[in-house]
Structure 1
């Protein structure tokens, strides 16, 4: 009797662990993956937009995004008033994730190159791209 009771408890525990296991191994749908990318992109843009400048030497830009044909979608303008290392790491991570997304889902786009700013300038405490 004791053995069957313990066997029943053990079986119940096994079913519980199986029913409530973590779903980390479940692949994301294309829509879910795109939504995560868009959230991450918004987070990066918010950080860059929080930057302010007092002089042009504080303004920088970085290639942002990964087009399926290669190259960035755009250039992100920011100032050194924020944690530049964190921003650059986030952008690098985002670019790699978007490239993986493009390959996984066979995404296509035009193959036009994004125009890189010739310089950036500080106007009214905001970094502005010059083309």
Structure 2
């Protein structure tokens, strides 16, 4: 019986640490998934705001950088109409950019370091804004 106690205590400790480490990994992966979902929902909200106005006159549209590449700089650009609540829209864009930067740092992500060029203007194509880079 004494040998059984000597074996069972270390075995019990190993089992407990295994369970804790599995739960810890699962917690962190769910946390990352939660962070990704939060970013996706915010981007969806931003896109809905941009899409709520039909693009009929390109002069009514503006361009703003959005997101954060892990290597630095913006990840892309988005067009928005001057006819929407631009203050709210730009606040959401800024919030998204900061959250993506924090996400990249938190999860130690990396990206290419290519510079994302800014579009030159917006054109209206079939009622939707199109970013023109030339």
TM-score tier, shorter chain, comes to 0.7 to 0.9
Q: Does structure 1 residue 65 correspond to structure 2 residue 45? A: no
Residue of structure 2 in register with 1:80 after alignment: 82
1:89-100 equivalences in 2 (<5 Å): 89-100=91-102
Q: Which runs of 5+ in 2 are unaligned?
A: 1-27
C-alpha distance in 2, partners of 1:32/1:125? 34
C-alpha distance in 1, partners of 2:105/2:60? 36
Offset at 1:99? Answer: 0.6
C-alpha distance in 1, partners of 2:81/2:72? 26
Q: Which runs of 5+ in 1 are unaligned?
A: 1-26
TM-score, normalising length from structure 2? 0.71
1:1-131 equivalences in 2 (<5 Å): 29-131=31-133
Residue of structure 2 in register with 1:14 after alignment: none
* Cα contact 1:52–1:81 (8 A) shared by 2: no
C-alpha distance in 2, partners of 1:126/1:45? 12
The count of corresponding residues between Structure 1 and Structure 2 is 106
C-alpha distance in 2, partners of 1:125/1:81? 15
Which moves more between the two structures, 88-97 or 121-130?
121-130
